[in-house]
Structure 1
Amino acid sequence: MPLPAGLAALAAPLLAIPVAFGFTAAPALADNPLVLVLTVLLVLIGLFSIIIFTSRVSHFQDPLFCVFVVFSFISIIDLIIALEEDGFISGFMEVYVREGEPFLRTSHGIMVCYWDGIVHYGLYLTMVAAIGQRKNYRNLGLFWLGSLLMSIVVFLLGNMIGKHSSELSPSFLLNLPYLLLLAWAGLRLFQQPKERPCLSPEKVAEEQHKPLYQRPQDVALVLGLLLMATFTFFRGMVVLDCPADSCFEYIYQHEPYLRDPVAYPKVQMLIYMFYILPFFILCIYGLVLPGCSWLPDWSLVFAGAMAQAQFCHLGSSLHARTPFPYQTPDDVLWSFLLSNLLYALGPQLLVLRCLHGPAFFLPAPPASSLPAPPAGLSRGKKHQ
């Protein structure tokens, strides 16, 4: 008998607990990494089959339903790994982490698992429920897309160039189909129709004719983005070993985690510098000039990416698994927290601005759709 969308979404993650326990209970998995990889693939294929046979056929009009349910299963696995590595539980994923992905034992790996098991899992449940009720979930999907993409890219690059690069195993190849599936899901999300606000052409024209100084919220956002862009460039120069005294002082006295040889923080700062920094400049452009219809969508993607990245960076800097020389010093703890929290907050405020005041970012209405001036007024002007 087919299950409703909500029950199907909840049933798949519940299977994660016996599956995780089975990984540790099977001694053959600990001896052969290739068998471990094949076992994981069989589990995921079996999960897809269960979803197909227990869900309503109508749900498959949106194939992202299957993606979100399978990813929710992976989220619970990640949450189990994080809880086990922090000592809250034991006897579940020890074999897989030790033989398959030992870099999940780093502070960054644990933070990635917490974010995936809590935030991403909540997003999956919400989006699956929206699919079942035939509601629009495009905005949530774009936020999730940015968050998961940032998580995967930083984690994979850090694994390949950090001190754990020699521990790569065949399980690392499981990330390739994961990336391909994420890219396909992203294309599907961008192709979904946008929610069009019910705004008259007059209202759109009125908002778009306001100069920047008449929009105090946008002035504050522009100034905040300029500060964030400066901070982004500075930390990028820090991890590139800039010889300036300010960079030397910062990396040793304020954020020593940037020196950690696991390479995750260095990769993160370089992604900020080469991708987030140009986006900040584009955001300033979109807040100054009207009609940048691309900004609401991409602000959601980058807001998700920044939220995930800053959570992992903050958590890793303070986690006990980070070696003591790279942990944040107590005397700069509050300034470190404040600067990084504000850095994460900026993109979220930009998203709120785009979603709650969309008129400025809509395409400019054609002149024919605007009301003509009163006839008497136009004759008076002409007579004068």
Structure 2
Amino acid sequence: LMLTGVLVLAGLISVIFFVSGGSHFQDPLFCVFVAFSFTSVVDLIISLEEDGYISGFMEVYVREGEPFLRTAHGIMICYWDGIVHYGLYLAMTAAIGQRKSYRNLGLFWLGSLMMSIVVFLLGNMIGKYSSDLSAAFLLNLPYVLVPGWAGVRLFQQPKALPCLSPEKVAKEQSKRLYQRPQDAGLVLVLLLTAAFTFFRGMVVLDCPADSCFEYIYQHEPYLRDPVAYPKVQMLIYMFYVLPFFCLCIYGLVLPGCSWLPDWSLVFAGAVAQAQFSHLGSSLHARTPFPYQTPEDVWWSFVLTNVLYALGPQLLAYRCLRCPAFFLPPTPASLHRGKKHQ
């Protein structure tokens, strides 16, 4: 096992150095991405082994050290880490080697990784596997501390601002919401997403309403799974993502919210990872049958959760494609605003 790990790490570093063009250690985050890319490969091996595609690599570690990785949720976050995060690490190390900006990719990765580890750790501590925690659980601490430090560095990197004249920015920011049909559609999507977020939060809080009772038993029984990951996920949605959706609506209505493009990327990554894990876990065979999605609501459940994940991605794409509305007010726009008063 140790020999396999050493060979994988050596091959991984060789690939990353090749992708980065041999220009490395210019950025301290390069070392972070190399180290985390190794764990991504390990996670991919774990997920493939748990699903029966390979065998004999990580079975002892998973069984003795982190048995919660054998749950449906554990398998899905390993798939996400081994495929999506690994791809992001390769892209970001390549950008570092070519002296290009990787800020947007980094913010998406930051949200994705933080959502993954927070739900995983909290679910382990309060779910049915809380009694199985061991010293191996401490191996997850770097996933909390290092991304926090990396996030600070990512936000400190300069933004790639478009070359827009003050007049063009002022013209874009003078438009009302009804003059921006795409933004109006996004506001509607965010309102529906926020309402669904609040509803599912009330469901996991055991709201006595008939609609909540019917939903948790007939539409999404996975929310009752004692592993606690789905409950933690819905509560994080309710107490953190829901307020952000409200702030996004505010940022789409009023101009000059320069914080929105960056944070939309963070939350796009967070929601994408969360929905992949939640949707996959609900349908995975490792989930006990009483908590699996019923066949008669399978399509509606999948469609609802895919659309839920799509909203933040559309918001982030809109902010990156046409950022003029979110730029700080220019002197021209301020002058125009005073003229209208």
TM-score (norm 1): 0.82
Q: Which residue of 1 aligns with 2:29?
A: 64
Could you tell me how far 1:96 is from its partner in structure 2? 0.6
Could you tell me how far 1:370 is from its partner in structure 2? 7.5
1:328 counterpart SS class: coil
1:199 correspondence with 2:185 = no
1:123 correspondence with 2:109 = no
Q: Which residue of 2 aligns with 1:239?
A: 204
Could you tell me how far 1:58 is from its partner in structure 2? 5.7
Q: Percent identity?
A: 81
Q: Which residue of 2 aligns with 1:98?
A: 63
Alignment of structure 1 residues 174-213 onto 2, 5 Å: 174-213=139-178
Judge conservation of contact 1:16–1:77 (CA < 8 Å) in 2.
Answer: no
1:18 correspondence with 2:18 = no
1:226 correspondence with 2:191 = yes
Q: 1:159/1:21 Cα in 2 relative to 1: closer, same or farther (>3 Å)?
A: farther
Cα RMSD for the two superposed structures: 2.3
Could you tell me how far 1:19 is from its partner in structure 2? 1.4
1:366 correspondence with 2:322 = no
Q: 1:347/1:368 Cα in 2 relative to 1: closer, same or farther (>3 Å)?
A: closer
Alignment of structure 1 residues 97-176 onto 2, 5 Å: 97-176=62-141
- The unaligned stretches of length 5 or more in structure 2 are 337-341
Separation in 2, partners of 1:255, 1:195: 42
1:281 correspondence with 2:246 = yes
Could you tell me how far 1:178 is from its partner in structure 2? 2.6
Q: 1:99/1:331 Cα in 2 relative to 1: closer, same or farther (>3 Å)?
A: same
Could you tell me how far 1:369 is from its partner in structure 2? 9.6
Alignment of structure 1 residues 214-363 onto 2, 5 Å: 214-363=179-328
Separation in 2, partners of 1:248, 1:368: 51
Q: Which residue of 1 aligns with 2:339?
A: none
1:198 counterpart SS class: coil
Separation in 2, partners of 1:16, 1:108: 26
Separation in 1, partners of 2:109, 2:21: 25
- The unaligned stretches of length 5 or more in structure 1 are 1-14, 23-42, 372-384
Separation in 2, partners of 1:186, 1:367: 33
Deviations 1:198-226 (A, max 9, x none): 00000000000000000000100001100
Matched length: 331
Judge conservation of contact 2:193–2:308 (CA < 8 Å) in 1.
Answer: yes
Separation in 2, partners of 1:21, 1:255: 43
Judge conservation of contact 1:204–1:359 (CA < 8 Å) in 2.
Answer: yes
Q: 1:64/1:21 Cα in 2 relative to 1: closer, same or farther (>3 Å)?
A: closer
Q: Which runs of 4+ in 1 moved over 3 A?
A: 55-58, 367-371
TM-score (norm 2): 0.93
Could you tell me how far 1:304 is from its partner in structure 2? 0.1
Q: 1:320/1:57 Cα in 2 relative to 1: closer, same or farther (>3 Å)?
A: closer
Deviations 1:264-319 (A, max 9, x none): 00000000000000000000000000000000000000000000000000000000
Separation in 2, partners of 1:324, 1:97: 23
Separation in 2, partners of 1:16, 1:221: 50
Judge conservation of contact 2:21–2:94 (CA < 8 Å) in 1.
Answer: no
- More RCO (CA 8 Å, sep 6+): 2
Separation in 1, partners of 2:326, 2:162: 11
2:24 counterpart SS class: helix
Separation in 1, partners of 2:55, 2:236: 35
Could you tell me how far 1:164 is from its partner in structure 2? 0.4
